[in-house]
Amino acid sequence: MKRFLAAAALALLPGFGFSETPCCATGDLGLIIERATGSLLVVDRSDRAAIGRVEGLGDLSHASMTYSPDERFAYVFGRDGGLTKVDMLTHEIVARTIQAGNSIGGAISDDGKLVAVSNYTPGGVKVFDADTLALVADIPAPGKTIGLADLPGRRFIWAVWDSGEAYLGDFSGAEPVITNLGHIGKNPFDAVVTDDAHTYLIGLFGEKGVTAIDLWDDTPKPTRFLNDYGKDKEDMPVYKMPHLQGWAFTEGQFVLPAVGQYDLLWVNRETLEQVATTPVHGQPVFIIAQPASPYVWVNFATPRNGVVQVVDSRTHQVVKTLEPGKAVLHMEFAPRGAEVWVSVRDENKIVIYDTRTFEKKAEIAAQAPSGIFFTARAHQPGL
Amino acid sequence: MKRFLAAAALALLPGFGFSETPCCATGDLGLIIERATGSLLVVDRSDRAAIGRVEGLGDLSHASMTYSPDERFAYVFGRDGGLTKVDMLTHEIVARTIQAGNSIGGAISDDGKLVAVSNYTPGGVKVFDADTLALVADIPAPGKTIGLADLPGRRFIWAVWDSGEAYLGDFSGAEPVITNLGHIGKNPFDAVVTDDAHTYLIGLFGEKGVTAIDLWDDTPKPTRFLNDYGKDKEDMPVYKMPHLQGWAFTEGQFVLPAVGQYDLLWVNRETLEQVATTPVHGQPVFIIAQPASPYVWVNFATPRNGVVQVVDSRTHQVVKTLEPGKAVLHMEFAPRGAEVWVSVRDENKIVIYDTRTFEKKAEIAAQAPSGIFFTARAHQPGL
C-alpha cells in the first residue's frame, strides 16, 4: 500500500513528461548547456538519456554551474550576469537574478548556504543566499575578478585581473573577513584549486610564469614557477584562452596547456619543475584527468576542434586519437571513470565513449551543446 | 500551480514521519549502522539530523555498505550473510537475501548494475543483479575472500585468505572473466584500492610485509614492500585488526596502522619506503584523510577507544586530541571536508565537529552506532 501511494504521488509530480521513468534520486543526473538557445538539457547518466529541458536562462554563450550539496539544485552562471537556480527534480527555474552586467563564473560554499559570483562588469564578488538568491555580501574589487573557487569552511578564493592580487574571503562568521594574499603577477586570466585543495594555481596573461599559493599554509603567500610559461616559440595566434579548470592533476604532476602552442606541459607537483612536454593535435583547451586511471583527455581550439586525444601521464605519450565530430567543446567523466561524455556543438549531439575500449556507447541529441555538468560535482572541493 | 501540486504530491510520500522536511534529493543523505538493534539510522547531512530509521537488517555487528550511482539505494552487507537493499527515499527495505553464512563486505560495479559480496562461509564471491538481487554469478574461491573492491569498467578485485592469491573479475562481457593475479603472501587479512585506483594494497597476517599490485599495468603483478610491517616491538596483544579501508592517502604518502603498536607508519607512495613514524594514543583502527586538507584523523582499539587524534601529514605530528566519548567506532567526513561525524557507541550518539575550529557543532542520538556512510561514496572508485 505504501509502495502504491509512493508511485501515485510521484505520478503527480510535474516535469516528467520527457521520460518514462520519474526521477527522484539525484546522484546520477546532469545538465548540459545549450549555448545558442539559452537552455539546459537534463540528462540521466545511468540511462544515457535526456529526461528534460529547462528554458529561459538568457545568454549561455560562456556559462558554468555548480550544484547544492544535496544535488537537488543547480546554480547557473551566465555570460549576461544572470544567476539562475534550477530544480533538478521538477526541471524548473526556481529563482533567477541579473546580478551584474557580465559574469564569469561562481562557486557554492561547502555547506551549500552561499553562492558567490565573480563579475567582470562591474568587478567584484557578489555573495547570495543559496536558498532565496537574496544578496548577502557585495565585495568590491579593484577590477575584474577571475578564478573564483570554494574552500572548506564557507570560504572562497579569487583573483583580480586589473590589480594582479588574490583574495581569500571567509564567510563563516557574522561578518565576512577578506584577506589580501598579495601580488600574484600581471593580469591573471584564470585560476584553479588543485583536487586536494592544497594549491591555488593562477595563470598570467600580462607576463610569463604561473603563480602558486599554498592554501594549507597559515599565511598563504604567492610563489612563482614555470617562468617561461606563456612564451610562444613562434608568434602564433591564440584562438581560445585555455581553461585552467581543465588542468589535470595525476601521477604527482600538474598538466598545463601551452598557451598558443600544440603542446601539453607536465610539471612535478612537489618541485614545480617542468618534467615533460607532449606534442598534441592542436591548441589544448580542456585537459581533464580520467578518474581511476593514468590518462588525461584533451580537446582543442578552433579550427582543430574536431578531435579528442588521450595521453598517458606515465609515458606522456598520446595513446588514442578520436574524432567525435565538429566542434568538440567539453568532456565530462562518469565520476568513477568508466565513460566520458563529449559535447559536439556543430553536430548537435553528445557522444558517450567507453574509456577502456574507446567504443561509442550512445549518442544524445542536444542543441549546440557546450558544458556538461554531472551532479557528482557537488561533492568535490573547488568545483 | 505546478509548485503546489509538487508539494501536495510530496506530502503523500511515505516514510517522512521522522522529519519536518520531506526529502527527495539524495546527495546529502547517509546511513548509520546501529549494530545492536540491526537497524539503520537515516541522516540528513545538511540539517545535521536523523530523518528516519530502517529496521530488520539482521546481524549488523560487523557491517558495511555501498550506494547505487543515483544515490537512491544502499546495499548493506551484514555479518550473517544478509544482503539488504534499502531505499533512501522511502526508508524501506526493498529486497533482502541471506546469500551466505558469513559475509565480510561487498562492492557495487561502477555502472551500478552488479553488487558483489565477498564471503567467509562458504568462501568465494557472489554477484547479484543490483535491481532484483537475483544471483548472476557465483565465483568459487579456495577459501575465505577478503578486500573486495570495485574497479572501473564493471570489474572487481579480491584476495583469498587461505591460498594467498588475488583475483581480478571482469564482468563487462557476456561471461565473467576471472584472472588469477598470483601469490600475494600468506593469509591476507584485508586489502584496499588507493583513491586513484592505481594500487591494490594487501595486508598480510601470516607473514611480515605488505603487497602492492599496480592496477594500471597491463599485466598486474604483486610486489612486496615494508618488509618489517606487522612485526611487534613487544609481544602486545592486537585488540582489533586495523581496517585497511582506513589507510589514508595524502601528500604523496600512504599512512598505515602499525599492527599491535601505538604508531602510524608513513610510506612514500612512489618508492614504497617508510618515511616517518607517528606515536599516537593507542592501537590505530581507522586512519582517514580529511578531504581538502593535510590532516588525517585516527581512532583507536579498545580499551583506549574514547579518543580521536588529528595528525598533520606534512610534519607527522599530532596536532589535536579530542575525547568524543566512550567507544569511538568510526568517522565520516562531509565530502568537501568542513565537518566530521564521529560515532560514539557506548554513549548512543553521533558527534559532529567543525574540522577547522574543532568545535562541536551538533549531536545526534543513535542506538549503539558504528559505521557512518554518506551517499557521496557512490561517486568514489573503490568504496
Domain-located, residue B368: no
Mutate to test the interface with A, among B13, B250, B336, B374 (most CBs of A within 10 A): B336
Render each residue's pLDDT in chain A as its tens digit; 383 residues: 333 333 333 333 333 344 444 457 899 999 999 999 999 999 999 999 999 999 999 999 888 999 999 999 999 999 889 999 999 999 999 999 998 877 878 999 999 999 999 998 888 999 999 999 999 999 999 899 999 999 999 999 999 999 999 999 999 999 999 999 999 999 998 899 988 889 999 988 888 889 999 999 999 999 999 888 875 555 455 555 566 665 667 778 889 888 778 999 999 988 889 999 999 999 999 999 999 999 999 999 999 999 999 999 999 999 999 999 999 999 999 999 999 999 999 999 999 999 999 999 999 999 999 999 999 999 988 77
Q: For chains A and B, what is the number of CB pairs under 8 angstroms?
A: 208
d(CA A152, CA B211): 35
Side chain identity, residue A312: D
The end-to-end CA distance of chain A, in Å, is 42
Q: If we measure between CA atoms, which residue out of A382, A383, A378 comes closest to residue A27?
A: A378
Burial class (CB in 10 A: 0-12, 13-18, 19+), B263: middle
Nearest CB to A381 within list B67, B153, B292 = B292
- Tell which wins on pLDDT, B334 or A242: B334
d(CA A299, CA B162): 48
pLDDT at B246 over 70: no
In A316-335, the residues whose Cβ lies within 8 Å of chain B are 334-335
Residue of B nearest to A353 (CA): B153
| pLDDT of res. B162 | 94
Q: What are the two backbone dihedrals, phi and then psi, of residue B10, each rounded to the nearest 5 degrees? A: -65, -35
Q: At what angle do helices B2-12 and A2-12 cross, to 10 degrees?
A: 170
In A212-251, which positions are buried (b, 16+ CB within 10 angstroms) versus exposed (e)?
bbebbeeebebebbbeebbeeeeeeeeeebbbbbbbbbbb
For residue B192, the tally of other CB atoms under 10 A from its CB is: 21
Q: Give just the sign of the alpha carbon dihedral A15, A21, A26, A27.
A: negative
Domain-located, residue B98: no
pLDDT digits (tens, 9 = 90+) for A161-182: 999 999 999 999 999 999 999 9
How is A208-243 classified by DSSP, letter by letter?
SSEEEEETTSSS--EEEE-TTTT--SS----SSPPP
CB of B71 less than 8 A from some CB of A: yes
Q: Contacts of residue A171 in chain B, CB cutoff 8 Å?
A: none
Residue of B nearest to A6 (CA): B13
Q: Contacts of residue B51 in chain A, CB cutoff 8 Å?
A: none
Q: Nearest-CA distance from A294 to chain B in Å?
A: 7
Q: Would you call B46 and A270 a contact, using CB atoms and an 8 Å cutoff?
A: no
Side chain identity, residue A210: V
| pLDDT of res. A165 | 97
d(CA A48, CA B86): 24
Q: If we measure between CA atoms, which residue out of B279, B282, B321 comes closest to residue B303?
A: B282
In A7-30, which positions are buried (b, 16+ CB within 10 angstroms) versus exposed (e)?
eebbeebbbbeebeeebbbbbbbb
For residue B60, the tally of other CB atoms under 10 A from its CB is: 26
CB of B6 less than 8 A from some CB of A: yes
Quote the Cα angle for B369-B370-B376, to 5°.
105
Q: What are the two backbone dihedrals, phi and then psi, of residue B371, each rounded to the nearest 5 degrees? A: -65, 140
Q: Nearest-CA distance from A196 to chain B in Å?
A: 5
> What is the overall mean pLDDT for chain B?
88
Domain-located, residue B96: no
Residues B338/A151, Cβ–Cβ less than 8 Å: no
CB of A53 less than 8 A from some CB of B: no
Domain that holds residue B156: 111-240
d(CA A73, CA B204): 46
Q: Contacts of residue A379 in chain B, CB cutoff 8 Å?
A: 27, 335-336, 376, 379
Kindly state the helix (H) or strand (E) to which residue B370 belongs, with its residue range: strand B369-374
Nearest CB to A71 within list B27, B110, B270 = B27
Nearest CB to B25 within list A70, A335, A355 = A70
Q: Would you call B293 and A197 a contact, using CB atoms and an 8 Å cutoff?
A: yes
Domain-located, residue B306: no
Peptide bond into B122 cis (omega under 30): yes
CB of B49 less than 8 A from some CB of A: no
In A199-238, the residues whose Cβ lies within 8 Å of chain B are 216
Q: Would you call B70 and A314 a contact, using CB atoms and an 8 Å cutoff?
A: no
Q: Would you call B152 and A355 a contact, using CB atoms and an 8 Å cutoff?
A: yes
Grid cell at residue B68 = 547505487
Q: Would you call A70 and B27 a contact, using CB atoms and an 8 Å cutoff?
A: yes
User: How many folded domains does chain A comprise?
Assistant: 1
Residues A84/A103, Cβ–Cβ less than 8 Å: no
CA B65 to chain centre: 7
Q: Contacts of residue A2 in chain B, CB cutoff 8 Å?
A: 14-15, 90, 92
CB of B22 less than 8 A from some CB of A: no
Q: Nearest-CA distance from B54 to chain A in Å?
A: 15
Radius of gyration of chain B (CA): 20
Q: Would you call A294 and B13 a contact, using CB atoms and an 8 Å cutoff?
A: no
Q: Contacts of residue B356 in chain A, CB cutoff 8 Å?
A: 152-153, 172
pLDDT at B234 over 70: no
pLDDT digits (tens, 9 = 90+) for B179-214: 999 999 999 988 999 888 899 999 888 888 899 999
Residues A144/A163, Cβ–Cβ less than 8 Å: no
Domain-located, residue B141: yes
| pLDDT of res. A112 | 95
Q: Nearest-CA distance from A13 to chain B in Å?
A: 5
d(CA B123, CA B140): 7
Residue of B nearest to A68 (CA): B27
Residues B113/B130, Cβ–Cβ less than 8 Å: yes
Domain-located, residue B256: no
Q: What is the ipTM of this complex?
A: 0.90
CATH classification of the domain holding B126: 2.130.10.10
Domain-located, residue A285: no
Q: Would you call B355 and A153 a contact, using CB atoms and an 8 Å cutoff?
A: yes
Side chain identity, residue A336: R
Classify residue B59 by its DSSP letter. -
In A342-371, the residues whose Cβ lies within 8 Å of chain B are 354-356
pLDDT at B373 over 50: yes
Domain-located, residue B212: yes
